[in-house]
A and B are shown apart, each in its own frame.
Chain A
C-alpha cells in the first residue's frame, strides 16, 4: 500500500462537507478552526448520540456507510476524510 496521497481538491471539498455536518451537530462550536488531527469527539464535546447523527449524515450526504467496527478509523477530521475518500474513489486495479 503506497503512502497516503497529498490532499486533492476533492479532499478539500470532503473536508468542507464534513465540517459543515459537524457544524450542524455542534452549532455552538467553531468548526472552521477544528484541527484536522484533533479527536473530533472530545474537541467538539460530541456525545455518542451526536456522533451517530454525524455518521448518518456521512451516509446520507456523502454516500459512505461507516460500520461501528470502523469508528476508530474516523476519530479525526483527517482520518475521516481519508476513510470517506477511499470509499468514494473507484478502487485502483
Chain B
C-alpha cells in the first residue's frame, strides 16, 4: 500500500487492473487505491509477471502492506507464496524520480472529488473506465443502459455498475467515497504544516504578456479546435525554464536540507468542482517538452484530476507548483507552498493595463506573477531573479514553445 502523503496511515484497495499471470512493466497502472485524499491509480515500479494478488478489493490495509507479488522475468515460479523473494508491488516511500530529490513522500493535497450527483440533462457520451469497458465485453453488458445509474467518478460507469447489471446477486457493499470533509481536512493539515514549518517570503512582479498573447492568438487560429492552446501552458513552461536557471526554486526540502531536482515536474493546482477541494498533480519534465506536447498532457491531467484518475507518481513527483487563478478574475495570488516543495508560483488574470510603451502611455495585456518561496532554500534576491527569468521567457514565446 503506497504512502501518498506524509500523514497517510492506511488505504483501501478498490480495484485491481491485473490478475495473476498478467505481464506488467514499470509505470503500468495496476490498481486503484482510495485514501482520504481520494482515488489514485497506483503505478507499479517493477517489470515482470503478476504472481499473486494478496489483498482483495474492498480491503483497507496499513501503508506498507504488500498488495501483490511480482515475478521478475526469468525468475522460476515458486511453490507457495508468503516468504517469496519476488519483488512486491509497493510503490511506497521511495519513488526513484526525480533523480536528485530523494524519498520523503510529499504531502500535496490530492485528488478526486466524491462522485457528483447524476447530471440533469441527457447523457451524450457513455463514459466508463477502461476496466468497466473490458468487464462489459466479458459479460456481454450494454454500457449505454447503465449511464443513468453510473456510480463512478463524474458519472462514469464503473466495474461495479457493470457487474451489478450482469448478475442478479446483490453486489458487494458499496465503498464509501471520500467525502468533502476528509479532503478539506487533508488540505488543511498540509497547509497548516506548510505554514508551521516553512518560513515563506513573497515576491510579486507584473509581466508583459503582449508577445505571448499575440503568439497564442496566431497559433490558435491555425490549430484545430481540439488542439487549442491555453495561456496556462505557456506560463507553466516559463516557470520550468526559469526553474532550470534558478534551481533553488525546484526540489524538495528533506531532512533539514534542500535536494534540488534536475527535472522540473510542475504541480498544477487544479480546483475540483463543487468546492470538492484542490489537487496539484505533476506535469512531468516540463523543462524539456514542447508546448505542443504539454498542452494535451495538461488537458489530460485536468480531466483525470476532476474524474478521480490521477496516478501515484503524479501525486508524489511535483518539484514546484503553479496556481493560476486568472479565470476567477483575481489580480494576484499569494499562495501557500505545498510541502516538501520550496516554491509556489501564482498567476492572476491577464488583463489590459495602462503602461509605458516606448515612452508613451499604452495599453498592454499584463499578468501579475507571484512567488512564495522557502527562505531556508533561497533568499529574495534569487527569488527576484527567478521571476525576472520567467518574464524574459514569456516575452519570447516562440523560443519558449
> For residue B120, which residues in chain A have a CB less than 8 angstroms away from its CB?
23, 30-32
Complex contact B230–A52 (CB within 8 A): yes
**B-facing residues in A42-57 (Cβ within 8 Å):** 45, 47-49, 52, 55-57
Cross-chain pair count, CB within 8 angstroms: 68
On chain B, the residues within 8 Å of A4 by CB distance are: none
Tally B residues with Cβ within 8 Å of A: 29
Partner of A67, one of B121, B221, B271, B274: B221
B327 A27 Cβ-Cβ under 8 A:
no
A27→B302 contact, CB < 8 A: no
Nearest residue (CB) in A for B227 is A56
Q: Kindly provide the distance from the CB of B362 to the nearest chain A CB, expressed in whole angstroms.
A: 21
Docked-complex contact B226 and A27, CB < 8 angstroms: no
B306 to chain A minimum Cβ distance, whole angstroms, is 9
Known: A23-B119, A32-B120, A68-B228. A49 touches B302 (CB 8 A): yes
Q: How far is the CA of A16 from the CA of B225 in the complex (A)?
A: 22
Cβ–Cβ contact B226 & A28, under 8 A: no
Do A28 and B273 contact each other (CB < 8 Å), given the known contacts A67-B221, A68-B217? yes
Q: By the criterion of a CB under 8 Å from any partner CB, how many residues of chain A are at the interface?
A: 29
Q: Is the CB of A21 within 8 A of B124?
A: yes
Contact B225 A59 (CB under 8 A): yes
In whole angstroms, what is the CA distance A33 to B125 when docked? Answer: 22
Interface string of B230-265 (1 = CB under 8 A from A): 111000000000000000000000000000000000
Within 8 A of A (CB), among B143-163: 154-155
B275 CB → nearest A CB, Å = 9
Q: Which A residues lie at the B interface, using CB under 8 A?
A: 16, 19-24, 26-28, 30-32, 45, 47-49, 52, 55-57, 59-61, 65-69
Name the 4 nearest CB pairs between A and B, nearest first.
Answer: A28-B274, A23-B121, A47-B327, A23-B119
Apart from A16-B122, A24-B125, A48-B230, list 8 A-B contacts with CB within 8 A.
Answer: A22-B121, A27-B119, A27-B155, A28-B116, A32-B121, A57-B124, A67-B220, A68-B217
24 contacts between A and B (CB under 8 A): A20-B124, A21-B124, A22-B121, A24-B121, A27-B155, A28-B117, A28-B274, A31-B119, A48-B230, A48-B326, A49-B299, A49-B302, A52-B230, A55-B228, A56-B225, A57-B124, A59-B226, A60-B226, A67-B220, A67-B221, A68-B217, A68-B220, A68-B228, A69-B217
